[in-house]
């Protein structure tokens, strides 16, 4: 599964939406306050989300129960394929025909040049989303998660769940049969892979462009284990004090090249569905994957598949390898030109109070404090005790940089994804990054 994208496809489209929603702004550079929860609600409620099997089922369960509790409301639920969502959202926002949408505005750090703002940030600045700050239902969410979703100190969205993706899914039976313990250091990890290869077991399943980047983010998580480390890296890249082709930055791609060597030889052409099917069928001992796939793996493997998840240990200091990095999934916002904001706020309140109904189907790590979820998450509780944002949620692409610097570390340039070794791929990324800074 590719990481979700929430970027509208063309500058013209976002400009049109921004101009439309700016007319609904409070005029102070932020959205007007959303109405308070309470009272009878009625009319149409239009919800537009990017589609995934589990979350779609979870939303449908909540919608059915919400309509039963509020018979005067008719919910129209529109799950849109991920690749089509941005354009669909743009059209619906322009038309004013959406009451709840997926949005996650990210604040641009002071060291990032203007012009690199994300589309959702531009919309928030134009007053495009209602301000949810102070809504009582927000107190149900984990504070560290809620803080991670704030934009310029305000809450514009509701975080429906979390996904962690800097670890490795592993087949417990294959590990046990081959005398392998869960590794906690890079040396142990490579030794485990060597032992599996020696017994003709494919150590790692990768799905080309779908998960090579996920594996890269796992390495980054351990090489830069604290959020402060990642923040310093991001700032250093923009002020030019950090280079992508030396030090720890080169270490990331060097270790990625090693990891690629433990995957099946043709992994560059493998898709996500094949990778997960091979894992379910015992053809690989591990896969670079996120917790978004837990429910699907459990359903596909049944009782025959006993699997776990551990942080990819890219450091030889075990303390650096303890935390899993992740992101907030499907944050929901109310456009400022929503036709039925009262029903939208009531739905968000109902969603929060009936969160288990949603997450039983969606299978996300819970964003609501104390919410019961899939038992799998208990097994990784030590690695997720405090929410840790993954590198791709901190790094902001420089839109003026070249293609080798368009992803968070140039995983696409390293053979066999590309044609270069780690040093050459890092050098290409540095050249493209530096060129972007000079423009």
Residue 394: partners with Cβ closer than 8 Å, 6 or more residues away? 227, 230, 231, 234
Tell me how long the chain is: 439
Backbone φ, ψ for residue 44 (5° rounding): -85, 140
Pick the CATH number of 167-323+398-437 from 3.40.190.10, 3.30.70.2390, 3.30.70.1400, 3.10.640.10: 3.40.190.10
Residue whose token pair is 């001992």: 285
Residue 181: partners with Cβ closer than 8 Å, 6 or more residues away? 175, 188, 192
CA separation, residue 224 to residues 130, 271, 392 (Å): 35, 29, 12
Rounded to whole angstroms, the Cα distance separating 314 from 224 reads 10
Dihedral sign from CA coordinates of 168, 298, 55, 85? positive
Equal fold, 11-162+327-391 vs 167-323+398-437? yes
Q: What is the CA radius of gyration of the chain?
A: 22
Backbone φ, ψ for residue 230 (5° rounding): -70, -40
Rounded to whole angstroms, the Cα distance separating 345 from 130 reads 10
Rounded to whole angstroms, the Cα distance separating 111 from 235 reads 6
> Tell me, what's the pLDDT at 159?
96
Rounded to whole angstroms, the Cα distance separating 334 from 156 reads 8
Helix (H, G, I), strand (E, B) or coil at 404: helix
Pairing of strands 202-205, 43-50: unpaired
Q: Helix crossing, 294-301 with 53-69: angle to 10°?
A: 110
11-162+327-391: CATH architecture: 3-Layer(aba) Sandwich (3.40)
> Tell me, what's the pLDDT at 38?
86
**11: number of CA atoms within 13 Å, CB side?**
4
Closest CA relative to residue 105, chosen from 278, 332, 283: 332
Rounded to whole angstroms, the Cα distance separating 309 from 301 reads 15
> Tell me, what's the pLDDT at 2?
43
Rounded to whole angstroms, the Cα distance separating 236 from 242 reads 5
> Tell me, what's the pLDDT at 10?
35
Q: Is the peptide bond before 416 cis (omega within 30 degrees of 0)?
A: yes
Structural domain boundaries in the chain: 11-162+327-391, 167-323+398-437
Count of C-beta atoms within a 10 Å radius of residue 29:
11
Count of C-beta atoms within a 10 Å radius of residue 130:
25
Tell me if 92 sits within 8 A of 76, measured CB to CB: no
**pLDDT averaged per 10 residues, the chain (length 439):** 38 47 52 90 97 92 97 97 93 96 94 90 96 97 91 96 97 98 98 97 97 98 97 96 97 98 95 96 97 92 96 98 96 97 98 95 92 91 92 93 95 98 98 93
Rounded to whole angstroms, the Cα distance separating 65 from 79 reads 18
CA separation, residue 96 to residues 91, 315, 338 (Å): 9, 50, 6
């Amino acid at each position: 599964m590719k990481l979700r994208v929430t970027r509208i496809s063309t500058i013209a489209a976002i400009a049109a939406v921004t101009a439309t929603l700016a007319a609904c702004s409070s005029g102070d550079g932020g959205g007007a306050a959303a109405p308070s929860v309470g009272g009878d609600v009625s009319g149409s409620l239009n919800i537009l989300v990017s589609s995934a099997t589990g979350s779609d089922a979870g939303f449908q369960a909540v919608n059915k129960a919400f309509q039963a509790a509020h018979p005067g409301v008719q919910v129209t639920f529109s799950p849109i394929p991920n690749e089509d969502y941005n354009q669909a959202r743009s059209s619906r926002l322009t038309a004013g025909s959406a009451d709840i949408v997926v949005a996650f505005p990210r604040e641009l750090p002071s060291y990032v040049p203007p012009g690199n703002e994300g589309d959702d940030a531009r919309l928030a600045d134009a007053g495009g989303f209602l301000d949810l700050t102070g809504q009582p239902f927000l107190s149900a969410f984990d504070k560290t998660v809620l803080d991670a979703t704030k934009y310029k100190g305000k809450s514009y969205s509701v975080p429906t769940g979390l996904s962690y993706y800097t670890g490795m899914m592993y087949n417990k039976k294959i590990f046990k049969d081959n005398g392998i313990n869960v590794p906690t250091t890079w040396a142990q990890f490579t030794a485990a892979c060597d032992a599996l290869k020696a017994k003709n077991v494919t150590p790692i399943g990768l799905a080309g462009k779908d998960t090579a980047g996920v594996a890269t983010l796992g390495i980054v998580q351990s090489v830069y284990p604290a959020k402060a480390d990642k923040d310093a890296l991001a700032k250093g890249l923009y002020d030019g004090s950090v280079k992508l082709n030396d030090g720890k930055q080169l270490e990331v791609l060097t270790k990625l090249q090693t990891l690629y060597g433990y995957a099946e030889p043709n992994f560059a052409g493998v898709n996500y569905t094949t990778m997960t099917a091979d894992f379910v069928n015992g053809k690989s001992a591990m896969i670079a994957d996120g917790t978004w796939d837990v429910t699907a793996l459990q359903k596909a493997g049944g009782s025959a598949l006993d699997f776990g998840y551990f942080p990819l240990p890219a450091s030889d200091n075990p303390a650096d390898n303890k935390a899993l990095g992740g992101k907030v999934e499907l944050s929901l916002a109310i456009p400022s030109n929503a036709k039925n904001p009262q029903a939208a706020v009531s739905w968000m309140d109902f969603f929060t109070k009936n969160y288990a109904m949603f997450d039983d189907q969606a299978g996300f790590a819970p964003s609501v404090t104390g919410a019961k979820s899939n038992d799998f998450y208990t097994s990784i509780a030590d690695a997720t005790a405090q929410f840790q944002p993954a590198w791709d949620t901190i790094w902001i692409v420089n839109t003026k940089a070249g293609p080798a610097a368009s992803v968070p570390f140039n995983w696409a340039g390293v053979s066999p994804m590309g044609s270069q070794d780690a040093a050459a791929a890092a050098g290409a990324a540095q050249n493209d990054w530096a060129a972007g800074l000079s423009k």
